[in-house]
Amino acid sequence: MRNHSLGSNICALLRRCKQMETTLRRAGLPAFLACLPLALLACQYALILREKNASISRISRKIQRWQGTVSQLSAHDSARTEFIDLDRKMREDIEGACDSMRNLRDLCVEVCELFGAAGYESPMLKRGRDRFDETVREACRLSQSLIDLIDVHDRRALAIRQQQHAIEQAGEASAAAHAARAAAEA
């Protein structure tokens, strides 16, 4: 619902800018001046895209650091079994973040298409959209890589835990058998 209303608001704003351009042209302004409101709106949106791009790039760097942390935890025997995502909440959070980034990217594409539908093509806006699309794609790729790394870690950690449990049970069974043998000999 929110994306639809945002798209409608931007569409209405573009329509008003286009009407202003038409009015300014009828008033005798040259075409390059008359389209200035629409150009400024496209420039503002391109700057917003740049900010969003920077935010998602920061998220990508955090994901890379998390990958390093999970790898380090997997390398240490004592820490390996301390971190297990049994309830899969971490995976769900990562997947949710990817879904949000994809939705934002889809909204970005929609807004850029609205500019095109209003008759305004901006190379700066197109470059911003393409960079944003690539940044989101890379962030989602890194996120999936992190999920895969967590899965591998968890499988290994659970196998170690099961092995430890089996050893403990074997030790208890051996102790019980030894106690029974000692009681039988006494």
Q: In this structure, what DSSP letter does residue 85 have?
A: -
List all residues 6 or more positions away from 149 whose beta carbon is below 8 Å from its beta carbon. Answer: 67, 70, 71, 74
pLDDT tens per residue across span 149-183: 888 888 888 887 788 788 888 888 888 888 888 88
* pLDDT above 50 for 1: no
pLDDT of residue 122: 86
Amino acid 29 reads: L
Question: How confident is the model at residue 175, as a pLDDT?
Answer: 83
Q: Which residue has the higher pLDDT, 120 or 134?
A: 134
What's residue 4's pLDDT? Answer: 57
Q: Where are the alpha helices (DSSP H) in the chain?
A: 2-26, 31-34, 36-75, 77-80, 89-117, 123-185
- The SS3 of residue 80 is helix
CA angle (71 as vertex; 70, 76 as ends), nearest 5: 100
